[in-house]
Chain A
Amino acid sequence: MDFSDQNRWLHRFAVISAVATWILIGIGGLVTSHGVGMAVPDWPTTYGYNMFLFPPSKWVGGIFYEHSHRLFASFVGLLTTVLAIWLWIKEDRRWIRWLGVLAFFGVVAQGVLGGLRVTLMIDSLGIFHAALAQLFLVLLSIIALATSVWWKKWVMTAKTIPITDSMWTANAFVTFLIFGQLVLGAAMRHQHAGLAVPDFPFAYGKVWPATDPAFLEKINRERIDVMDPNPITAAHIQLHMAHRIGALAIVISAGWLAWRNLRAAGTSAVNSRFAIGLLGLILVQAAFGVFTVWSNKAADVATGHVMIGAICLVVSSLFCLISARCGSVAFTVRAPMDSENGSALSVLQSS
């Protein structure tokens, strides 16, 4: 398959869809950061109006964030639908066509999940809604990568990159950690318990905070928060501390991953650049996490933390995909022949 203008536009459209999804995650983050997820009590209508006809004059207070989230989600739904149809018609590779179908059903499921979170008033659905949003972004990013010229050209030369199976496993491990960390973060945000641990680097002045009933009663008595969140429980503190430990584990793992790639392939190799870039993003994300605590969970900072977390997951996932492709290519090329055999190339060209 050569890359006609049609394919280039398809790739650009996939990129736009992925970027729009990332922005949508940001708007959703603002909804949760401002504590206004229930500001519009009905769905799919908005205060009884057709969602698209809700008068701007009524976008007051938290309604502004929640309604914007709904409208932008509809826009992403439209983009995804067009992308799925476009892929089905124009894309030769069957696995990418099916990714488009998966994306379509994913965006529908995500929309319904968001609606049910409002109408059923179940907080925990918000956690699934947030986690699915991250996975959906990864899916669109994979489509965007796989439809790029770069992917096709790079796959053709991938055999020159020395990625081993163990390095792929390391990438997958870091990706898994990041996703787990994002789920932990979503769980924290949707507990409506505010900052369960309000200081950093210590936790209530200690390495590990107390969680006995007397201590919990004391901190809840002394906490003055205009949003009057639920009282802090031992589970909230443990969840918060798990998120901190997860962050530390990810920083160490990403550093180790970068070191391994650099040692194996040098600084100029694609995988090394990916690994260094991912480490840089992880460090920025960690800084945002710290600042989220220091800013008393300011809405813009907390939302920035969510958005950078999403980028970390995307980069790590794409790196994982590239590593997997690279590993299989290297294996194919190494296997019975050590030269650029025709059968090996045919595998590459169908990727």
Chain B
Amino acid sequence: MNKSITIFVAAVALSSVTTISAGDIIGKITLKGTPPAEKNLPIASDPFCGKLYAGKPIPTTRFYLVDAHGGLADTFVYIKSGLDGKPIPAPVGTVEIDQIGCEYLPYVFGLQTGQKLHVKNSDPLMHNIHVTPSASSGNKESNKAQMAGGKPYEYVFDSPEVFLRFKCDVHPWMFSYGGLVNHPYFAVSSVDGTFKISNVPPGDYVVEAVHRKTHPRGTGVTQKVTVGPAGGKADFSIEVSGS
């Protein structure tokens, strides 16, 4: 599993190389302050999940993934306003999240309303997929069993929601959070805190960066960005008082 994480992380890092191209909004999320220490997940307390980590380090919580330069990962960045009157492209492709190593990966992802989401189970044991939208979002709560090796479940959500939570109740430390908006102009910050929102039409926008832990109510920090032929830039600073 570590190998797949490495590949995933490398892919994200490569995709976020900070070269401005036309219509891209790029930037970096920086965390100010010292975040509280993460905790080990209680994976070893479950004999079946524990077996998957025999001789390997147990993963920790991933509330604050910060690199040496303060780059904050897993922040959902999206255009909050400014798209009125502009054509909104239909969703392209399928987003996939996986239950692997008794964790949901990725921890934070972006999704467009109407876009297909596949949730699969790569573990040799059963999980359940419990979608827990907020009561006001309009999205529907569901809870489905997913056997080992079972086929992926497909979801389509119609209402924007930041963040839409997926959890496994069999292993109650497993979570994944979706940033769900009604357009394709979003990104999730990578391990160094950088992000790139691609193919944005020229114009003036308000871009919002939401981190699940520092903005528990789903309202993050915003910034005005003008996208011209050379794209746009938005760096965000998020504070945590921390311990």
A residues less than 8 Å from B144 (CB atoms): 41
Q: Which residues of chain A from 27 to 70 have any CB-CB distance to chain B below 8 Å in the complex? A: 34-42, 47-48, 58, 60-63
| Contacts A47-B145, A224-B36, A224-B39 given; does A38 touch B173 at CB 8 Å | no
A residues less than 8 Å from B41 (CB atoms): 226
Contact with B143, one of A41, A60, A221, A223 (Cβ below 8 angstroms): A41
Is there an interface contact between B172 and A62, defined as CB atoms closer than 8 Å?
yes
Would you call B170 an interface residue if the criterion is a C-beta within 8 Å of the partner chain's C-beta atoms? yes
Is there an interface contact between B130 and A41, defined as CB atoms closer than 8 Å?
yes
Is there an interface contact between A41 and B128, defined as CB atoms closer than 8 Å?
yes
Would you call A220 an interface residue if the criterion is a C-beta within 8 Å of the partner chain's C-beta atoms? yes
Would you call A340 an interface residue if the criterion is a C-beta within 8 Å of the partner chain's C-beta atoms? no
Looking across the interface, which residue of chain A has its beta carbon closest to that of B47? A60
Interface bits B124-166 vs A (CB < 8 Å: 1, else 0): 0110101000000000011111010000000000000000000
A44 smallest CB distance to B (angstroms): 15
A342 smallest CB distance to B (angstroms): 64
A345 smallest CB distance to B (angstroms): 59
- Contact stretch, chosen from B68-76, B89-97, B186-194, B210-218: B210-218
Is there an interface contact between B145 and A48, defined as CB atoms closer than 8 Å?
yes
Looking across the interface, which residue of chain A has its beta carbon closest to that of B173? A226
Is there an interface contact between A60 and B126, defined as CB atoms closer than 8 Å?
yes
B residues less than 8 Å from A217 (CB atoms): 216-217
Is there an interface contact between A47 and B126, defined as CB atoms closer than 8 Å?
yes
| Contacts A41-B144, A121-B143 given; does A220 touch B169 at CB 8 Å | no
Would you call B118 an interface residue if the criterion is a C-beta within 8 Å of the partner chain's C-beta atoms? no
Contact with A224, one of B37, B46, B128, B216 (Cβ below 8 angstroms): B37
B residues less than 8 Å from A34 (CB atoms): 172
Is there an interface contact between A39 and B169, defined as CB atoms closer than 8 Å?
yes
Interface bits B16-27 vs A (CB < 8 Å: 1, else 0): 000000000000
Question: Considering the chains assembled together, what is the distance between the CA atoms of A38 and B63 in angstroms?
Answer: 23
Would you call B8 an interface residue if the criterion is a C-beta within 8 Å of the partner chain's C-beta atoms? no
A111 smallest CB distance to B (angstroms): 19
Is there an interface contact between B169 and A222, defined as CB atoms closer than 8 Å?
no
Is there an interface contact between B48 and A38, defined as CB atoms closer than 8 Å?
no
Contact with B46, one of A60, A223, A228 (Cβ below 8 angstroms): A60
A230 smallest CB distance to B (angstroms): 9
Interface residues of chain A: helix, strand, loop or mixed (majority): loop
Would you call A231 an interface residue if the criterion is a C-beta within 8 Å of the partner chain's C-beta atoms? yes
Q: Which of B40, B172, B241 has the most CB of A within 10 A?
A: B172
Looking across the interface, which residue of chain B has its beta carbon closest to that of A192? B132
Is there an interface contact between B170 and A62, defined as CB atoms closer than 8 Å?
yes
Would you call A263 an interface residue if the criterion is a C-beta within 8 Å of the partner chain's C-beta atoms? no
Q: Which residues of chain B from 168 to 224 have any CB-CB distance to chain A below 8 Å in the complex? A: 169-173, 175, 213-214, 216-217
Is there an interface contact between A38 and B213, defined as CB atoms closer than 8 Å?
no
A residues less than 8 Å from B173 (CB atoms): 226-228
Interface bits B34-62 vs A (CB < 8 Å: 1, else 0): 00111111100010110000000000010
Is there an interface contact between A222 and B243, defined as CB atoms closer than 8 Å?
yes
Is there an interface contact between A226 and B169, defined as CB atoms closer than 8 Å?
no
Is there an interface contact between A221 and B241, defined as CB atoms closer than 8 Å?
yes
Would you call B85 an interface residue if the criterion is a C-beta within 8 Å of the partner chain's C-beta atoms? no
Would you call B242 an interface residue if the criterion is a C-beta within 8 Å of the partner chain's C-beta atoms? yes
Would you call B11 an interface residue if the criterion is a C-beta within 8 Å of the partner chain's C-beta atoms? no
A295 smallest CB distance to B (angstroms): 15
A residues less than 8 Å from B143 (CB atoms): 38, 41, 118, 121
B residues less than 8 Å from A63 (CB atoms): 126, 170
Looking across the interface, which residue of chain A has its beta carbon closest to that of B132? A121
A residues less than 8 Å from B242 (CB atoms): 221-222
Would you call A94 an interface residue if the criterion is a C-beta within 8 Å of the partner chain's C-beta atoms? no
Contact with B216, one of A35, A121, A231 (Cβ below 8 angstroms): A231
Is there an interface contact between A39 and B128, defined as CB atoms closer than 8 Å?
yes
Question: Considering the chains assembled together, what is the distance between the CA atoms of A36 and B240 in angstroms?
Answer: 30
B143 smallest CB distance to A (angstroms): 4
A residues less than 8 Å from B63 (CB atoms): 224
Looking across the interface, which residue of chain B has its beta carbon closest to that of A34? B172
A233 smallest CB distance to B (angstroms): 9
A residues less than 8 Å from B61 (CB atoms): 224, 226, 228
Q: List 26 A-B contacts (CB under 8 A).
A: A36-B172, A38-B128, A38-B130, A39-B172, A41-B128, A41-B143, A41-B144, A42-B145, A47-B145, A47-B147, A60-B48, A61-B48, A61-B170, A61-B171, A62-B169, A62-B171, A62-B172, A217-B217, A220-B216, A223-B36, A224-B36, A224-B37, A224-B39, A226-B39, A227-B173, A228-B61
- 17 additional A-B residue pairs with CB within 8 Å, beyond A36-B169, A62-B172, A121-B142: A35-B172, A38-B130, A38-B169, A60-B46, A60-B48, A60-B170, A61-B46, A118-B143, A217-B217, A218-B241, A220-B216, A221-B213, A221-B214, A221-B240, A222-B240, A226-B39, A228-B173
A residues at B contact (CB < 8 Å): 34-42, 47-48, 58, 60-63, 118, 121, 217-218, 220-228, 231
